[in-house]
């Protein structure tokens, strides 16, 4: 995949937007919709019957609510101006600095990311890896990994 295409998938921080639960074109949305379709509109009735001998089905209404939430994801990604992480400072900063990714900024790593400590650690690791091997190689290396690891 070329650099321009990767810019439609990777956020400025290095996270893969298509792996995010909020992404309109993401795998989580796709698979959640698929699972709801496979179960069908009547599965709730079956779950009610199953719970008498498989107690896990008592939680089916909550599971269905979660799948419905995932299946309505509508975020187009940070580069579209739609960041779902309330304290993230990366989206605004990358535009102000005129860089595609944080590692391209002379101030990286800065204190303006607004990321929580765990995500900040990942942000630094992702950007250091992109700087080391290049954006295209980083994408190839990470495209099949789980986002929430």
**% residues pLDDT > 70 (the chain):** 100
User: What is the rounded CA–CA span in Å between residue 13 and residue 23?
Assistant: 16
Tens-place pLDDT, residues 67-104? 999 999 998 888 887 777 777 888 888 888 999 999 99
Instruction: Specify the pLDDT at position 123.
Output: 93
Classify 45 in phi/psi space as left (phi over 0), alpha (psi -120 to 50) or beta.
Answer: alpha
How large is the average pLDDT for residues 127-143?
96
70's tokens: 């995932």
Question: Would the pLDDT of 3 be above 90?
Answer: yes
For the chain, give percent helix, strand, coil, nearest 5.
Answer: 55, 5, 40
pTM: 0.85
Q: What angle do CA 96, 101, 107 make, to 5 degrees?
A: 65
Q: Express each pLDDT in 38-63 by its tens digit.
A: 999 999 999 999 999 999 999 999 99
């Amino acid at each position: 995949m070329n650099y321009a295409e990767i810019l439609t998938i990777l956020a400025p921080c290095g996270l893969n937007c298509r792996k995010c639960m909020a992404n309109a074109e993401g795998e989580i949305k796709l698979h959640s919709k698929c699972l709801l379709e496979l179960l069908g509109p009547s599965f709730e009735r079956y779950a009610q019957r199953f719970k008498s001998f498989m107690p896990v089905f008592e939680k089916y209404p909550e599971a269905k609510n979660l799948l419905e939430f995932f299946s309505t994801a509508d975020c187009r990604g940070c580069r579209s101006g739609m960041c779902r992480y309330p304290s993230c400072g990366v989206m605004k900063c990358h535009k102000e600095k005129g860089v595609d990714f944080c590692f391209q900024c002379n101030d990286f790593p800065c204190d303006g990311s607004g990321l929580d400590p765990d995500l900040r650690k990942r942000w630094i690791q992702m950007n250091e890896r992109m700087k080391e091997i290049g954006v295209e190689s980083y994408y190839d290396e990470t495209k099949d990994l789980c986002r929430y690891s």
